[in-house]
């Protein structure tokens, strides 16, 4: 089976004036499709940095990154937007919904970015909102939705794009326990049904039991990998 994400000696060093911050130490992982992977560790341990590199929004300082069969690390910068469109959906702690657009319109816009519009987009948007249990809230603006509902719209947007890799940064950070679990269960279902690889950066211990695999980071270093 081809892995969704493979890294070899992937690292990131930030230079802030004279100060050098080793945010991610050389790391090698192989993550298969169909799994929900937790990226856990204390604040500042490099979770967001590693997730951003995996999502091709930040370039590594050294090492290899391969998404399915595409070697990304060697590619010129100008190819990265196309790689992101093809492979990656993001979910953020702050939901990142457009406040002036309804749940449905937010999803339509996400699809447009991926090059999908017309009746296919309309059908998909309605179907994914139903799948996350929000068919009654389709035409609500984000301000009229609860935190849990907003995050479910963000999950629906990722679902609609149908990308094989979903990267989520603290997706339960703004949610209570019940809504946090609901969102994680949706991601788990998505991984199983569509064979997506879902990577979730979090320090929320309450959702630990959901993960198929947990990568523990400390000071940018993978201290251990727990396979459930």
Ligand X SMILES: Nc1ncnc2c1ncn2[C@@H]1O[C@H](COP(=O)(O)OP(=O)(O)OP(=O)(O)O)[C@@H](O)[C@H]1O
Nearer Cβ to ligand X, position 29 or 134? 29
Instruction: List binders of ligand X among 44-83 (CB under 6 A).
Output: 44-49
CA distance 49 to 225: 18
- Binding mask 27-56 toward Mg ion (x if CB under 5 A, else -) reads --------------------xx--------
| Partner whose binding site includes residue 16, from Mg ion, ligand X, none (CB under 5 to 8 Å by kind) | ligand X
One of 2, 9, 14, 130 touching ligand X (CB under 6 A): 14
| Partner whose binding site includes residue 14, from ligand X, Mg ion, none (CB under 5 to 8 Å by kind) | ligand X
Nearer Cβ to ligand X, position 52 or 89? 52
Nearer Cβ to ligand X, position 39 or 158? 39
Virtual torsion, Cα 136, 194, 5, 218, nearest 10 deg: 50
Residue 173 interacting with ligand X (CB under 6 A)? no
């Amino acid at each position: 089976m081809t892995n969704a994400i493979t890294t070899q000696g992937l690292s990131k060093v930030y230079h802030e004036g004279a100060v050098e911050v080793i945010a991610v130490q050389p790391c090698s992982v192989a993550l298969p499709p169909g799994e929900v992977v937790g990226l856990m560790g204390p604040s500042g341990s490099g979770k967001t940095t590693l997730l951003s590199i995996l999502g091709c929004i930040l370039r590594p300082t050294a090492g290899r990154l391969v998404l399915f069969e595409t070697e990304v690390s060697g590619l010129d910068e100008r190819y990265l937007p196309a790689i992101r469109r093809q492979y990656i959906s993001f979910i953020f702690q702050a939901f990142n919904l457009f406040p002036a657009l309804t749940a449905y319109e937010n999803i339509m816009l996400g699809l447009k970015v991926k090059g999908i519009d017309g009746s296919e987009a309309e059908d998909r948007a309605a179907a994914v909102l139903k799948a996350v249990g929000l068919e009654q809230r389709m035409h609500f603006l984000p301000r009229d939705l609860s935190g849990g509902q907003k995050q479910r719209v963000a999950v629906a947007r990722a679902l609609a794009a149908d990308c094989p890799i979903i990267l989520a940064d603290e997706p339960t950070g703004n949610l209570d326990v019940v809504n946090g679990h609901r969102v994680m269960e949706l991601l788990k279902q998505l991984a199983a049904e569509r064979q997506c690889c879902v990577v979730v950066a979090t320090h929320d211990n309450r959702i630990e039991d959901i993960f198929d695999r947990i990568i523990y980071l400390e000071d940018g270093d993978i201290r251990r990998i727990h396979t459930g």
